Every structure is written in structure tokens, then in C-alpha cells.
Structure 1
């Protein structure tokens, strides 16, 4: 399993990243903001619009350090990659499975089984822990419908059916997601998922954290030798990391949704931490984004017992574990891909 080291987050919007010797240097408009030895980093995530020097991008690609660029609002822009890691035979098998309707359905079904199971678990746990503070009957009804969706997934004959079941399940889940918000409900009201752009503070947090998770999943897949642009559930589209989107489906509820609820319910973020643009877009203020990133990194360092491997790993290592299991399945070492079923 790939060892996690450190991730450098650059939140200053006018920062420029450069390479000096073996160090990453972050420069502001008129001064050096920070300097970090490159060999201590696993990845660099920049929310600056000024970018990075070609020398740094080349060095990161050469040394296997992920360098991902986001807009200041958290929208993914680009990611540097070096030589493709892994076995060409594994990638060829991935392409064959992706072109095979039956094989694609089996893997896509597993991803969505993990997602729906984990969505239901999150609802069930919320009712158990906070039943008096939310509409337990409404949440329990949605949970029951998610359980029924798991049954329909078992017999889903093709990827289109899997997508349809997932869409209905997501509608049920996000229909009651607002019930799980226990603090500042008037401000953190949630009427449903809005993406481009996010139209409320909850959606702004979800979109921001989903973009971070997608980058982690893409790096994990590359480390396992897989092509993150060729998926099973998400169809091919130029520039879209379809397999990374596939892999993150099962991790969204337990990795991001729980994280966002914790930020809100523990009052790590509040009404003053968001800005609304004239277009209606809601974005996280720069001062709050730094706080969110610190909490994200802290969460990735916490330990969890992997439900399939039965080993304690850090949460940040979960995407790497799942990418490894997917590679084992494609090689024929596992009969099926084991989703991350969390309780």
C-alpha cells in the first residue's frame, strides 16, 4: 500500500509556485510566502490563478508528486502527470472490461452498491444518534427506500439501469440530507443538490470537498497502474477522469458528506464564512477555506478499520486501498470488486 506523506495546500489566490533546488517555493506578489522540501511531499494542491513554473511541474511529474490546480472557488482545472505507472497488461485489461457491457455493469454495480449502502448507513446513524433533533420518520422512510434500491441493484442488467437506480437513490438521499444539519439550520438550509454553480452554503462545501476527493482518487488510481480517464459507470469524455468519478461514488457519503455535516454541526464554519456572488453562486471565503483544508487533512490522518481488508489504515489511504482492490479484480486475483461498505 502506498504510504501517505504530506499534502501542500496553497490557498493564496495570487501565489506562484516555483522550484529552487529541491524546494517548492511559494511566492506572493512581492515576497516569498513559504518554502518546502519537495521530497517531503506526496501532493500539491493549488488554489491560485497564477499557476506554477514549468520546472516545478516537470520535477513533480518526474518524482511522482501530484500537482493539481483548482480555481480559487474550488473548481478543478488541471493536474500534472508524468509517465503512466503500472503494468501495460493491467491497463489493456481495464480497456477490455470497459468495452464489455457485462463486465462494465458488474464493476459499476459494485461502485453504486457501496454508495447506496453508505448513504443509508449515514441516515441510519443520524436517526440513532440524533433522533430527537430531526424528523426521524422522514429519514427512516428514505432509508427504507435506499434499502429497496440495493435490492434493485442486485438484478440491474446493464449500466443504464445502474445509473437510473443511482439517480433515484440520490434523489431520496439528498431529499432528507437537510434533516442531518443540526446547527444554524436557517442559514444552512438545504433544498437539494446544486452543482455548477452551488447555490447555497451546504452545496458550496459539498462541491469543494468532492473536488478534493476526486483528486485523491485520481492519484490513487494512477498509483495502482490504472487509467483514471477510462471508467465503467461514467462514460468516456475528453478530459474527464471517469474512473476517478467512479471510484469516489462509494466514498462520497462517508468521506465527504459526513465531513461537511461535522463542519456545520460542530460550528467549524458559520454564516460569515461564505460569500454570494451576483450570479447567485455561493463560495467559501478564503479565510474559511484554509480552515476547511486543515480539517480535511486532519480527517485523512484518522484511522479506520477497512471493512474488507480488516486492517487499520488512515482515511486518506482508503482511495489507495480501493484502487488496489480494483486492480486486483481486473487482474483476476479477485472474483469481484469489493466496495467500501462502512458501518
Structure 2
């Protein structure tokens, strides 16, 4: 399955004789999209997409994610072929109102996240020879958090443990990228440096995948277990994204350190 990412201002996406065609603002044909093998279409900025193209992609099982022009913030998520079994969602709602079940599931989510962070830190420690202090501190924070998690009895306590570890973890992550492209502090809205831009974009795309998976399974992406319900927030999507964050972190670190680096002016 493939992903198409379109961000050229004024680009047009239309359905012509059963084919998804891309055109420049002046009408020049730029190419086509393989809709049968397209898993997701990501549109950022001022892209003109016809309703015919949208309908065709959704019927083919593709998902569509629309991002804001500058901050890569998700503003719309389109998904076709939604699950028709409402009993699944009713069971999800029962689980949300069961405090014991919800806390147990929230602890499992954070436990998996902390373990993944710990594995990353241990790997970074093996190859880092200079900036080790932040890594050692993050390792200790993860160990303490994993120990504390067992006795956590509420969602607030679980979230507090996760939050306390996050700062130390990002301090460790920033030791793995050049100081020139990182402020060594996690910044979000807006991200203030290239590394934070890449992390935010990666987490946004991971969240899209999580929401798509929730819809496909017949779950309500707005009803989470670790993350509280909030207007406009797909809380279950946030829960599921926790399992994907370390994949994003790995990609950002490896891509920046081992491949051709983009120019900082591009951010």
C-alpha cells in the first residue's frame, strides 16, 4: 500500500475517466495517483480536490488527511467503509465507564510506552560517548516510573507518571541530533526547530493512522481510556498513538543522522 503527500499550492486533484489525475494550477497534467493501491492521501495547504476524486478514493478504501499549511496540524480526517456493528461501540462505552477496567488499560498503555522509551535510551547509551548525563537521568526516570506505575490507582496518577518521564526522555532524545537543529526542548504549537517540526509532523501522521484503525475496528475514536474526553479531540486516537511514538522518534533520529539532511531554511 502507498501514501501520497501533496503540498503544492493550487494543485488540483480530480477524477477523470476513472483515474485520479493531478494538475498544476494552470491545468497542466502532472501525473496520476494509483488509487487501487493508495492507502492514504495527505493534503497540506491549498489543494483543490474534487468531490468525485474524494468519493472514488473513499470507495477504494483510502483515507484522506488534511493538514494546515504551516503547522502540519490535522484539520480533517476522511474515512470510508466505516464499521457497521454498533455493539462494538456500546462495549467500548461500557469499558470507559468501568473505572477499574479503564485504569488497568491506561496502565498497560503507559507501561508499553515506558518500556519502549527505556529500550531507546539503552540503545543511545551504548553508542553515545559524550552527552551521557541526560541519557542516564532519563534511564533512571524510566525505571522509577515503571516501579511507580504498579501502584497507580487513578487515571490522574497514571498520567502524572507518564508526564514526569516525558521531559527526561526528550532531553535524552535531543542528545542524538545536532544541537544546531534542536533547541533541546520539546516544543509543539508551533514547533520551534527542525527536529520538533519533524516530531510533530510524525506524531500527527501516526495519530491519523490510529484514528483510521479505530474506525476500521468499529471503535469510537473520541472515547479514550488513558486520555480524557475533550471537545474535538480523538482521545482513543491519542491512546493508540502512544504505541507509535517510538517509531516516529526512531525515524527522526536515524533519518537526520544517516541520510541527506534537509536545509534548515526548509522549516
The normalised TM-score by structure 1 is: 0.72
Helix, strand or coil at the partner of 2:22: strand
Structure 2 SS opposite 1:198: coil
CA distances 1:209-237 after superposition (whole Å, capped 9, x unpaired)? 11111111111222222221211112222
Q: Which moved more, 1:155-164 or 1:231-240?
A: 231-240
Picking from 167, 174, 187, the partner of 2:180 is 187
Question: How far has the Cα of 1:105 moved from its partner?
Answer: 1.3
Contact 1:15 1:28 in 2 (8 A): yes
Higher relative contact order (CA 8 A, sep 6+): 1
SS in 2 for 1:13: coil
Aligned residues: 265
Q: What is the RMSD of the two structures over their aligned residues, measured on CA atoms?
A: 1.8
Where do 4+ consecutive residues of structure 1 move more than 6 Å? none
**Cα distance per residue 1:142-177 (max 9 Å; x no partner):** 202201101111221111111110100101111222
Could you tell me how far apart the structure 1 residues matched to 2:259 and 2:183 are?
Answer: 16
8 Å contact from structure 1 (residues 221, 244) kept in 2: yes
Superposed, which structure 2 residues align to 1:183-262 within 5 Å? 185-253=178-246, 255-262=247-254
Identify if the C-alpha distance between structure 1 residues 267 and 40 changes in structure 2 by more than 3 Å, giving closer, same or farther. closer
Deviation at residue 22 of structure 1 after TM alignment: 2.4
CA shift digits 1:230-275 (9 cap, x unpaired): 111122223322111111112212x1111111122114324x2434
Aligned to 2:115: 117
Alpha-carbon separation, structure 2, partners of 1:35 and 1:110: 43
* Counterpart residue number, 1:12: 8
- The aligned residue for residue 265 of structure 2 is 274
- Paired residues of 2:62 and 2:80 also in contact (CA < 8 A): no
Q: Distance in 2 between matches of 1:274 and 1:206?
A: 17
Deviation at 1:113, TM superposition (A): 1.0
The gaps in structure 1 that reach 5 residues or longer are: 276-283, 285-343
Quickly say closer, same or farther: Cα 1:127–1:86, change in 2 above 3 A. farther
CA–CA distance in 2 between the matches of 1:24 and 1:48?
19
Which runs of 5 or more residues in structure 2 are unaligned?
none
Name the counterpart of 2:95. Answer: 97
Residue 40 in 1 paired to residue 37 in 2?
yes
